[in-house]
Amino acid sequence: MDSKIKYFLDNFFYLNIENKIVRIPYWRNKLNLKKAKRIQGPFGGKGTPEQIKSATIQKAKKLNVNLREMTAKQIEEFMEQNRIGIDCSGFVFQFLNQLKPGFWKKLKKAPGKSSNPARRFNASALTSDQNSVRVDNKIDAIKVGDIIPVGLENDKITHVMVIVDITPQEILYAHSSSRTQLQGPHLGKIIIEYPNEPLNKQRWEEELTSGKSILSLVKKPLAKIGIRRIKGF
């Protein structure tokens, strides 16, 4: 893996708060209650590791909470309770912006009023025909920065992952999820068993909380809209 990419990912995967390694929670935009209103967390779940860390420290000061006395797990729970974390499209946006700063400037934003560009590119916007093109999901056509769409709901993509490394033996992707066994931003692996076959014929190692392979949520989007590449990449 490219050293700059590894450094970038490590900052998301291993956030240092008060000398404790904390896993950034997956961010949700509403409480898990019936008729719950949208509750915006800091940066709307789209922040950089530095912004997420700063938001955690500021919130702790406001609530008179001493993070130094807390374990890493307790800090993670504090972050989740206060809507501090990152969602799938926020994470992918930050990764793409690391690869190509300002990539979003000529793209079509999702509806909204936020001046923060990361909040104007949800999963549907990133994978739309206006902003991305279909890529053959054969191994030799895929490159770092390509987006893997996940889950179709009313013909809309509900989740996205991004390819971060490719070798002849495996493909690494990264995403922030609440449905996988390892939650928040993390890596997933695709073992290449049949080099001449498409991605859906390979072995996807990551499992959902249900015990099924994540491939169960990927097959339909791959068939319908394919791997996506942001225009200009």
Q: What is the pLDDT of residue 30?
A: 55
Position 18 scores a pLDDT of 94
> 115 in the Ramachandran plot: left (φ > 0), alpha (ψ -120 to 50) or beta?
alpha
Confidence of residue 34 (pLDDT cuts 50, 70, 90): low
Q: Is the pLDDT of residue 77 over 70?
A: yes
Percent of the chain residues past pLDDT 90, beyond the cut: 75
pLDDT digit string (tens) for 86-130? 999 999 999 999 999 999 999 998 888 778 888 889 999 999 999
Residue 4 pLDDT: 93
* pLDDT at residue 21, rounded to an integer: 96
Predicted confidence at residue 130, as pLDDT, reads 95
Mean pLDDT of the chain: 90
As a whole number, mean pLDDT of residues 72-77 equals: 96
Residue 99 sits in the same domain as residue 193: yes
According to the model, what pLDDT value does residue 163 have? Answer: 97
Decide if pLDDT at 16 tops 60.
Answer: yes
Same domain, 94 and 74: no
The reply to whether 108 and 198 lie within a common domain is yes
29 lies in the same domain as 141? no
pLDDT of 62 above 70: yes
How many CB atoms are closer than 10 A to CB 32? 6
Q: What is the pLDDT of residues 180-215, one digit of tens each?
A: 999 999 999 999 999 999 999 999 999 999 999 999
Average pLDDT over residues 74-91: 94
Q: Is residue 38 located within the same domain as residue 105?
A: no
Domains in the chain: how many in total?
Answer: 2
pLDDT in the model for residue 14 = 95
74 and 145 assigned to the same domain: no
User: Where in the sequence is the domain holding 53, given as residue range(s)?
Assistant: 3-81
Instruction: Give the model's pLDDT for residue 171.
Output: 97
Q: Give the predicted TM-score (pTM) of the model.
A: 0.92
Among 81, 113, 146, the domain-final residue is 81
Q: How far is CA 46 from CA 33, 91, 123, in A?
A: 23, 7, 12
Among 225, 208, 209, 226, smallest CA distance to 217 is for: 208
Average pLDDT over residues 45-49: 91
